[in-house]
Chains A and B, each alone.
Chain A
């Protein structure tokens, strides 16, 4: 392409004022056939056009009568002028043809010709059939700086260096870089920059040819053919660690790469043409069918579905598949690209983490129960004491002369109630001490919180703390592990009680409020009237082994945080308006989890 252009350039080493074509021997060309009136801008103040037209009227060898051209105009004009006087009718015809050839060459090569005046810093762009990518640039004459702004920011420095390099007239620098088109897309461009003037007025003039190389050549690789590119793409596809499939909109497998075959444990001949859903675990087919429907209806642009695959060997593999819809030229759904990631390792890791987290949480719960033992014993003692007293009073009533049956029954009812109360305390203690695997069930905070209160009652009494609970009406159901959620709440509440040790009696109030956030979570906040958290401590509250307590391990909040996170919620601290602390955590609601 460029070789051909060079030939054209050699033929244009003369000037045809009729067509506004100027050229200097061996140093490129200027093309202004369509707009000769613009020509004067190239060489600054000198109205070249007039002078050129004047040449035609002048007799031969009278070049000396146009001294301004050689003095004020750029060097090429000076060099060209002596040849102008030799133009005759024959030559003029020749140069017209040359011009046509040049136009054709530019147009066929989808090239952009440009020039840069050193004096005025104006980039002037023109070309016979300007390539589409240059539209944004060629719409008007633009500033050099403005043109530079279209260049990708990472490439700008290189481009500037290329423009400044090789100041000697006639030298050529080649630079490849990215530009941003009017639509914001990135294109690779190769620019041949030629110095076309001396640096007598600061920067020398430049002119050059730009070519879009995005499709044919990748940066750093000289001339890579389209077929090589395809081959490379194919290789990339085959060696990708993801299973990549193209599916028809009906879900039939059209292509599949090696990783995809490996995942499914099948060979290519048995896979292509098959229904993709048949490889999916039967319990998960519904999810994928839904994702397909959403893609094709246009509701989603892509979908990520965790599911299981049946392998040819009869095993089950856990994968996560990214589905994307591809449209045809008319915007109709054409096919679906599925990228399948093997999640087996990650699942195993997560499972292991879950086991560790549950073990840690359990140990921490047992530790808490140990610390609470004295209080819990007291909490059992109360109903037992009431039962004993009622029973003994009943015996006295029996021994008396007259028996008030109604009174007697009331006492027995109380005995039953208190026995249940004691049983409840034991049941809740056991459920907290339990060490079963983490589970996700539907539960309600307005059940979990009251269940916890009897366990804390005695500690709160001992510390002279009043517990106030504010539970919003119509609280939605949440999904989580009830014991772990109670563990977090218990932890925050005990911390709150602890924080008020040095507060005057009567001012020790622990407030637990539960409300919906409106963003799909239930927020449980525990506020105390203690002294608050030190400013330098609040950054580290949730770090393991960070504690402000004398006998603290520093695990409580850290474990609480891991529990909240594993539920998809958050945990946090903020100073309360009354000077104490508020610790809160969120747990997703049932509807939130279903939609996720």
Chain B
């Protein structure tokens, strides 16, 4: 199988100890780190949202069910992907789980490869998403160093306007626009205009300060 990020942790939540232990054993056999819990409560105490990985969650449990836990995690803005496992005949629950953002749904008993593949792709997706978020966060941090005027100039620049047009729109000299633009490029560490535009899209900030046209 493909190698998964060694930092990832597979959280296992199932009240049936045999199922739980066998899953832990399987994770161990392929060198994955796992953290097994017998109830939603127990899991919530140990869960670290910053920790990359995925959750293998039994849909039916006494007390707080798998679906309730999913809802609680969504409310916490957790991005850790969930793979639901369940006995047969729980299709309506599966639909609900997928609508709630679950990445996958497996019926017990499952083929190990099937589960491991899904864990792997979930963890990869998690990794990518976390990296993306990390990048976005860095960009936003840089963006926050800009002055209000510089932010205004940035919006005009990424809208594809020439310096002359920007100077006219803002009622300043072309030279002033050039100085601000150079500082924006520097602060945002943009290698080119195209790079700046991509960063702007990645930041995904609302453009109410943008040009009216």
Listed in ascending order, the chain A residues whose CB lies under 8 Å from chain B are 374, 377-378, 381-390, 392-394, 396-397, 400, 407, 411, 414, 417-418, 421, 458, 460-462, 464-466, 505-506
Contacts and interface: CB of A to CB of B under 8 A. Distances in A.
Nearest to B14: A382
Nearest to B26: A393
B92 interface: no
Given A465-B62, A505-B63, A506-B63, A396 B30 contact: yes
A374 B110 CA distance: 19
A388 B112 CA distance: 8
A462 B23 CA distance: 21
A381 B109 contact: yes
Given A388-B110, A389-B109, A396-B112, A382 B18 contact: yes
Contact of A390 (B16, B22, B60): B22
Interface string B69-93: 0000000000000000001110000
Interface residues of B, number: 27
A394 B28 CA distance: 11
Nearest to B68: A505
Interface of B: 15-16, 18-19, 21-23, 25-26, 28-30, 60-65, 68, 87-89, 108-112
B23 to A, nearest CB: 6
Nearest to A415: B22
Contact of B112 (A377, A393, A400): A393
B163 to A, nearest CB: 63
B19 A385 contact: yes
A462 B29 contact: no
Contacts of B16: 382, 386
B62 A378 contact: no
A287 to B, nearest CB: 52
Nearest to A464: B62
Contacts of B28: 393, 407
Main secondary structure of the interface of B (DSSP, over half): loop
Given A382-B18, A389-B25, A392-B26, A462 B112 contact: no
B60 A411 contact: no
Nearest to A382: B16
A464 B63 contact: yes
23 contacts: A378-B60, A382-B108, A385-B87, A386-B18, A388-B109, A390-B25, A392-B26, A392-B111, A400-B29, A414-B25, A417-B18, A421-B18, A458-B60, A458-B87, A460-B62, A461-B61, A462-B60, A464-B64, A466-B62, A466-B63, A505-B64, A505-B65, A506-B63
A377 B89 CA distance: 10
A323 to B, nearest CB: 59
Contacts of A388: 109-110, 112
A362 B21 CA distance: 38
Contacts of A378: 60, 87-89
A417 B22 CA distance: 12
B11 to A, nearest CB: 16
A413 to B, nearest CB: 11
Contact of B19 (A389, A393, A397, A506): A389
A458 B86 CA distance: 12
A461 B16 CA distance: 10
A381 B68 CA distance: 23
Given A382-B16, A465-B62, A392 B112 contact: yes
A397 B62 contact: no
Nearest to B17: A386
Contacts of A400: 29
Given A393-B29, A466-B62, A505-B64, A461 B15 contact: yes
